[in-house]
Amino acid sequence: MKRFISYLPTCALIASCCLVASCYREEQPTRSAEPENVYSEYSLPQGNHPYDAEIMSLFERYNTIILYKYQPHDIYWNEDRSIGAFRWDPENPANSTQGYYYAPADEAYIGELLELIKTKFFNHFSRQEVLRELLPKKIFLADTFGIRYLTWAGNIPSGLGTFYNVPVYMGVDYMLFSWGGQRLNALTAAEKNTYKFEAFDKFFAKLAALGKLTPPAAFSASTDYSNAWPPTASKGALGVTPNQNGSLTPATDWNAYVSVVLRTPYDMLVAQPTLSATGAPSTSDFTGYLHPDIDANGKIREKYEILLAYFQDAFGIDLQGIGNDVEQ
């Protein structure tokens, strides 16, 4: 009986395979009549502007979909709260909610925004495959993005409070670039420099959180981190950049170095610094951080070169080249 039961499926399987084989006809694949969606319900191109061709080209190059048309609930600032959660109800303030706020990109300025993103971010990568691997799969473009606070009367919202503009934001699985509107017509040099720094700062922080950016051990080997609060005037001799405040750790040290290089041209780093009466250098413009008056023992220079070599080898990025890209 057991033999018969096991034999029946075998015979049925052979028969069914023969039937399928006799009925199957191999056909040539055909192109879909409609555009196919990429990563989500959205498809490319989203329009027929000249910049839509550029967005298609960037998708083919980096495998990232760039969207200027989307819904607020597509953008999350954590796993379960969408960017569009901000709400101000003047009729009933108690129903208001503070949080992230955005205004959609103006289609008349998408081309200019793409050029800004390419110039200040994409073009600084010498290896295309790095961005193809590490960019999030979606990039959203916006006119305005930031955090809108409310004023409060006790526990009840009473009015609109401060708005903190965020030029570049890194979400759970996306990147958002704002300023895609009339603001582009009047960007100052300082704002363009901020845009560049924010893009790389958020990108590097995300890579670090994902374990894809790991400072080499050689960077921290020459610094004694047991002295967590060295005075500003003596930081340089210890291999610590003077802009660091708070408790000193290898991680905060690394981040401070990255910040200095991203923001500062090389000729400023090696320039003669202006020191205070106590010998303390400036902690705001980073002038002279590689000059012997600050880097008395050459330790900052040593760690600076380790830093540059790491980013060049790991990501094909000339970190100092980004720092040199300063609008005047």
pLDDT of residue 82: 66
The reply to whether 116 and 225 lie within a common domain is: no
The reply to whether 155 and 256 lie within a common domain is: no
194 within some domain: no
The reply to whether 227 and 159 lie within a common domain is: no
pLDDT tens, residue order, the chain (328 aa) = 333 323 333 344 334 444 444 443 444 444 445 554 555 567 899 999 999 999 999 999 999 999 999 987 777 766 656 666 678 888 888 888 887 888 899 999 999 999 999 999 999 999 999 999 999 999 999 999 988 888 888 888 888 888 888 999 998 889 999 999 999 999 999 999 999 999 999 999 999 999 999 999 999 998 988 876 778 888 888 899 998 887 888 999 999 999 999 999 999 999 999 888 888 888 888 999 999 999 999 999 999 999 999 999 999 999 999 999 999 8
Report the candidate in 35, 38, 40, 42 with the shortest Cα–Cα distance to residue 60.
Answer: 38
Q: Find the domain containing 307 and state its range.
A: 217-324
The reply to whether 183 and 225 lie within a common domain is: no
Report the candidate in 117, 121, 119, 135 with the shortest Cα–Cα distance to residue 62.
Answer: 135
The reply to whether 68 and 108 lie within a common domain is: yes
The first and second tokens of residue 82, run together, are 């969408």
Report the candidate in 68, 62, 69, 100 with the shortest Cα–Cα distance to residue 84.
Answer: 100
The reply to whether 223 and 116 lie within a common domain is: no
In total, how many domains does the chain have? 2
**Which H or E run contains 321?**
helix 319-324
The reply to whether 233 and 296 lie within a common domain is: yes
pLDDT of residue 41: 66
8 within some domain: no
Contacts of 118 (CB under 8 A, 6+ apart): none
Strand partners, 76: 82
pLDDT of residue 57: 96
> pTM here?
0.81
Cβ atoms 40, 64 nearer than 8 A: no
279 within some domain: yes
DSSP state of 276: -
pLDDT of residue 228: 67
Query: Maximum Cα–Cα distance for the chain, whole Å?
Result: 101
